[in-house]
Structure 1
Amino acid sequence: MTGRTTEPLIDPATLPDRLRDGHVVVGNFDGVHRGHAAVIAQAAEPAHAAGRPVVALTFEPHPRTFFQPDRPLFRLTDAREKARMLARAGADATVVLTFDERLSQIEAEDFVADVLARRLGAHTVVVGWDFHFGRGRLGSPAFLAEAGPRHGMFVEVVPPHGGATPVSSSAIRDLLAAGDLVAANRLLGRRWTVETEVVHGDKRGRELGFPTANLVLPPETRLAYGIYAVRALVDGAVVNGVASFGSRPQFDDGAPRLEVFLLDFAGDLYGKRLRVELVAWQRAEAKFESVEALIAQMERDKAEARRLLALPEDPLAPSALT
């Protein structure tokens, strides 16, 4: 199967013919971590061997956000990054269903019959061991295994990935919040990446000799405040950098943002979308006795970032920028 796309199809009534009669993987896929990749791999190998497409079916917003709007969810991947990583994992296309009141109340049997069989024309449906669907989450993997054949579909359920402690999105969120970037990236199977538009800041970094690209992440982001060695994708080129995520206690203790200083780079990034991957944790955010002390520490941070970025790539968490 060729022609893989990273642009998701939003709420299609039916799929294009080239994507029908394929293997459909279903899930929320936040983070598209190693467990998700195992689900996609189980679908992709036999599908592509038979010349069938692999379609990832997912939902936006995340169902937990719909059911618990008062409990903001730290998303590991936005919709665009999720579709990109699903394609990287082997999906030929991503279908996104809007998770609204209507979809939240669909009966499990109707989800199988209308969404999977009629709209997607699935030949085989592949889900993880813990996937539930339909009103009241009554659609279990066991229910799907029984209902799928009645609607002309094969069903495969993938067991937990990771042994006694399965890889999970929630575990990765907790590790990022604790500053354990190595463990988080290894569960992801790549470096954690964000992408958003560069916005104007207070220009303080420029005044200090460290002009930064300012990125505002979603307010529910629970990344540990601190200094990170990073890489960014700038106009198709990968550039090393050092970044600070936090509230800037030296100056204003304001709303958190990611400030990226690109090493050996000169150019105007305002208004551009920047993809940044976090390679290594360096230290916690701190307030210094003077601005001069802060600048001296920033020089040390820059040198440490160069050292860390010169180390061999972690084979369990490779780059996903290109």
Structure 2
Amino acid sequence: MRIHNDWKALPLDARGATVAMGNFDGVHLGHRSVIDAARAACDAPLGIITFEPHPREFFFPDAAPFRLMNAESRANRLARLGVEHLYQLPFDAVLAGLSPEAFAREVLVQGLGVRHVTVGEDFCFGRQRSGNAQTLTQLGQELGFGVTVAPLIGNGEVEYSSTEIRKALAAGRTRDAERMLGHWHRIDGEVLHGDKRGRDLGYPTANMAVDGLHLPALGIYAVLVDVLTGADRGSYKGVASLGVRPMFGQNRPNLEVHLFDFAADLYGQHLSVALVEYLRPEAKFDSLEALIAQMDRDSAQAREILATR
């Protein structure tokens, strides 16, 4: 998959796609239906138009983190779906200030040369969200590109949405989130240097930042891990701690991942960590010996859960 971080001066072979357009936070089953409709709309390369930063981050920079995915995680998921071009448009004052007509003309037609655009029926765009799916359809007729409006989908009880997925993850209901996502919720990123306490405890961990993300329930998880870069690329099983490490004072939240039966150095490599099962909340123990005993139990439970995966 090729990633384009602007709509200007694109090479000829990056133009003329059939695109799905939206924020695609989580790339859940509702988003999948929009992407599948774009794929079926016409015989052209499949593209995604999305925005970075998320428009809500641009307009409300001091709001609490809400994203299910960072840009890297979203790109990894879209690549798995066979997307050929990811148009990750810089959402800034210029883009935010474009009217719906100017966005369609300057970005979609002159910039990207789209053949067809697919959006969800709740899609809004343009200055002050003044354009909607009907507006886009009219502009497509005027400017020469096709438009498909995909209906919202759900399971009969709840609509598949990033909001509902956040609720499930905040409650530790990873399997409910998976049913709406169509895949395990993942945290992707680079392995950073940490305090290296895990190594001293017999549980070396790969440490990853979770800044800017909506945090699932803090605690211990059984995880599936894809090492995406480096000599040890591959899929592994493990156990992870998501939280502030209460045994060791007040700390910034992060993700610490222990891969079973793995001893290599992963610093600087990129991981994709799937949260499969919530095991327990974080806790502060009376001693390091009590902590290690609990880690042994967590690992045994995680191995059992992941045995058939």
Task: Report the TM range for the smaller structure's normalisation.
Answer: over 0.9
The structure 2 residue matched to 1:199, chosen from 176, 189, 192, is 192
SS in 2 for 1:161: coil
Show structure 2 runs of 5+ residues with no match: none
Q: Which amino acid aligns with 2:145?
A: M
Aligned residue number for residue 239 of structure 1: 236
1:180-226 Cα deviation digits (max 9, x unpaired): 11111221111112222222222222222112122221154422111
**Aligned counterparts of 1:87 and 1:178: Cα–Cα separation in 2:** 29
What SS does the aligned partner of 1:293 have?
helix
1:143 to 103, 126, 135: 135
Is 2:6 the counterpart of 1:11? yes
Could you tell which deviates more after superposition, 150-159 or 279-288? 279-288
Q: Are 1:222 and 2:219 matched, yes or no?
A: no
User: Any idea what SS the aligned residue of 1:296 has?
Assistant: helix
- Structure 1 unmatched ranges of 5 or more: 314-322
Conserved? CA contact 1:56–1:91, under 8 Å: yes
| Aligned equivalent of 1:29, options 14, 24, 33 | 24
Judged with a 3 Å threshold, the aligned counterparts in structure 2 of structure 1 residues 92 and 270 are, in CA distance, closer, same or farther, namely closer
Give the Å deviation of 1:22: 2.7
Q: CA contact under 8 A between 2:68 and 2:213: conserved in structure 1?
A: no
Q: CA deviation at 1:164?
A: 5.6
Q: Encode CA deviations 1:120-147: one digit per residue, 9 max, x unaligned.
A: 2122111001110001101111111122
> What are the equivalent positions in structure 2 for 1:140-179 lying under 5 Å apart?
140-162=132-154, 163=156, 165-179=158-172
Instruction: Note the 1:231-270 alignment, pairs <5 A.
Output: 231-234=224-227, 235-270=232-267
Task: Indicate conservation of the 8 Å contact 2:67/2:212, yes or no.
Answer: no
* Aligned residue in 2 for 1:68: 60
Aligned-partner Cα distance in 2 for 1:254–1:20: 46
Q: Where does structure 1 differ by over 4 angstroms across 4 or more consecutive aligned residues? A: none
Partners of 2:256 and 2:138 in 1: CA distance: 51
Kindly indicate whether residue 299 of structure 2 is the aligned counterpart of residue 307 of structure 1: no
Tell me how far apart the structure 2 counterparts of residues 54 and 15 of structure 1 sit (CA, whole Å): 16
Contact 1:39–1:126 under 8 Å retained in 2: yes
Structure 2 Cα separation of the partners of residues 131 and 27 of structure 1: 7
* Number of residue pairs the alignment of both structures matches: 304
Offset of residue 297 of structure 1: 1.1
Residue 219 to residue 103, structure 1, CA distance change in 2 (3 Å): closer
Determine the structure 2 residue equivalent to 1:317.
none
1:199 counterpart SS class: coil
Separation in 2 of the partners of 1:207 and 1:87? 38
TM-score, length-scaled by structure 1: 0.89
Write the deviation string for residues 105-164 of structure 1: whole angstroms up to 9, x where unpaired.
100111111211221212211100111000110111111112210111121100001156
Give the corresponding residue for 1:319.
Answer: none
Distance 2:58 2:98 in 1: 15
Counterpart among 169, 181, 191 of residue 174 in structure 2: 181
Give a deviation string over 1:271-296, Cα, whole Å, max 9, x none: 22222221211111112233222211
**C-alpha displacement of 1:42:** 0.8
| Mapped contact 1:229–1:309 kept (Cα < 8 A) | yes
Overall identity of the aligned pairs, in %: 48
The CA distance in 2 between the partners of 1:154 and 1:46, in whole Å, is 8
Task: Give secondary structure in 1 for the equivalent of 2:179.
Answer: helix
Q: 1:219 to 1:146 in 2, by over 3 A?
A: closer
